[in-house]
Chain A
């Protein structure tokens, strides 16, 4: 009985590590600014021609202010706006959400579910673009092959608007 339980626990414990898919970790760095606003962030998968294969997540201000609707600044995510944003209506179900605070934010995507389930094998890039009101803009690309032949831990580091961006591929 106890051996069975242990075995079950082992399976449960290891389940997340073996679930095929990819994990993205985006670090919003602490920035010493007299006027700080949480950045708008777009996270997507691009094809070699830079067209968008899948939108993973987009964070923008959800409420309206005296300065306008939150969508007013989505065009500041210039590459994402060009590649995908301008073709969308907002909010995008399962993609858009509120802006996030300083810290690391992990997102997990299951290979068996959308959008990865429909992603044809090939070369891709994970793109993370951040734009901050009265701040700067930064874009990070991490190239990868899908599906991953083996477990891979890729990462890149931003210089001002983004901290470390990690891409963990689980075959």
Chain B
């Protein structure tokens, strides 16, 4: 079972950045703007073809990282994984903005052994032990994938939104829980903490089942990593971008790959 889960996670991690159009991973919170004193939310986590319907596989919660407004980690409750989705509850005991993310980081290796392709996933320490020295046609890639969303109790805050410096991250210019139909929002994307220029972004609005087109919005980050989007309607939006090059920072990797997904909620005027 453990191995199966590992391999499904690997398959997902491999597939996601390469062909984002095939499967979309997401975290979907029940609410993003809350006014109660110590409210609860519930979050669905899934990988699907369509935004936001449960029709493929659940998103595993093994790498869930929740950051409270004061920057400390928060713990999900009532976690469960079903056929099509995972779900968990979160008690918002602090006022401010929570960052809810699954973060998958590590190394991937491909090589050939006895004429057969071999695949491996791990980290820099396990690499030395598990990947044979002098493997034929060895290709090592460092990968960082982040799938996240934001939820605010009371006044929006920035404490949980400080970049970790790993992979692609969103730095708010417009706060991600202060989005309204017809208004422009500006965000900055960083890669390993530095402005990520030229990233192509795809934004898909909720409810694909009830229309004939994706109605995706495209954007590209500028030299400072920033981009703007004017929300055509209220609703939930899925935003995705990915990146790859041959400037790996974690030896022995030679390639690096990063992907980013965020679910945003836009409210009506």
Contact = CB atoms under 8 A, between A and B. Distances in A.
B76 interface: no
Interface residues of B toward A: which range? Answer: 10 to 19
B35 A78 contact: no
Given A78-B268, A86-B155, A86-B156, A73 B35 contact: yes
| A-side interface mostly | helix
A99 to B, nearest CB: 15
Question: Interface of chain B, helix or strand or loop or mixed?
Answer: loop
A68 B36 contact: yes
| Interface range on chain A (Cβ under 8 Å from partner) | 10 to 19
A71 B180 contact: no
Contact of B269 (A68, A71, A79, A81): A79
A75 B33 contact: yes
B36 A69 contact: yes
A73 to B, nearest CB: 7
A79 B37 CA distance: 19
A29 interface: no
Given A82-B178, A87-B155, A74 B267 contact: no
B36 A81 contact: no
A47 B58 CA distance: 47
What 7 pairs across the A-B complex have the smallest Cβ distances?
Answer: A75-B35, A72-B36, A74-B35, A86-B155, A75-B33, A78-B267, A71-B35
A81 B269 CA distance: 12
A163 interface: no
A35 B33 CA distance: 25
A57 B155 CA distance: 20
Interface in A92-127: none
A85 interface: yes
B185 interface: no
Contacts of A75: 33-35
Contacts of B156: 86
B154 interface: yes
A85 B35 contact: yes
Nearest to B33: A75
A79 B178 CA distance: 11
A139 B267 CA distance: 14
Contacts of A72: 34-36, 39
Contacts of B268: 78
A82 B39 contact: no
Given A78-B267, A78-B268, A79-B269, A86 B154 contact: yes
Contacts of A86: 33, 35, 152, 154-156
Interface in B72-121: none
Nearest to A78: B267
A60 to B, nearest CB: 9
Contact of A82 (B34, B36, B37, B180): B180
